[in-house]
Structure 1
C-alpha cells in the first residue's frame, strides 16, 4: 500500500472538502466496479473451462424473493390483492374497520 501524502485538511475550504469527499467516493465506486468486473471475468473463464457459461451456473434473479400468491382481494377493486404477509394495505384496514373479516376478503 502506498503512503498517502500528508494533507493538511484544515487548509481546505468547506467546498473543497466536499468536492474531495465526492472525488473519493467516486474513486471507491470505480475501484469496486473494476474489481467486480475482474471477478466476473475470472468466474466466466473458470465456468468456460468446465464447459458452462456463467449464466448456466447462476440463475438470473435467484437471489430475489419470490412474490407470494395473493390470499385476499379488494371486493371494490379486484386489481388490489394482498398475500397476507407484510404491512396490511389500507383497503384491508378500511374493510376491517367497516366490520368485515379477513374471510370476507379471501380469494
Structure 2
C-alpha cells in the first residue's frame, strides 16, 4: 500500500499523519505486552515470582520528592509558612509591599 504523498492536500496529510501516529502507538503497546508476557514466562520458568526479582511494586510512586521544609514564615501569623517554591503566597507579597525584605521573613 504505497501512498503518493505528493498528491495529498494539507488536510489529507494531517489525517494520514494522525492515523500513522495512532497505529504506531498501537504497535508499541502490542510489543510491550508481548515483552511483558515473555518476561513473566521467563521468571516463572526459573521458579521465581515477579516480586522475587523486582521487589514489591511501587503503587502510586510520584516523580516528585516529599515535602519541602518551609523557608519563610508570616510574622503576623506564624502558622503560615512558604517553602520558597511555586507561586508566592499573598501574605508574602503583602509583607514585601509593606517594606519587609525576604531575609526578614526567612525562618
TM class, shorter-chain normalised? 0.5 to 0.7
Equivalents in 2 of 1:47, 1:103: separation in Å? 59
- Residue in 1 aligned with 2:24? 28
Q: What is the RMSD computed on CA atoms of the aligned residues? A: 3.4
Q: 1:40 to 1:99 in 2, by over 3 A?
A: farther
Aligned to 1:83: 83
Larger radius of gyration: 2
- DSSP 3-state at the match of 2:64: coil
Aligned length: 99
Please list the CA deviations of residues 35-69 of structure 1 after superposition, one character each: whole Å capped at 9, or x if unmatched: 22223333334444423347744423446222323
Instruction: Please report the TM-score for the alignment, with normalisation by the length of structure 2.
Output: 0.59
Aligned to 2:11: 15
Partner of 1:50: 48
Tell me the distance in 2 between the aligned counterparts of 1:46 and 1:63: 29
8 A contact 1:73–1:82 mirrored in 2? yes
Q: Which runs of 5+ in 1 are unaligned?
A: none
Q: Which runs of 5+ in 2 are unaligned?
A: none
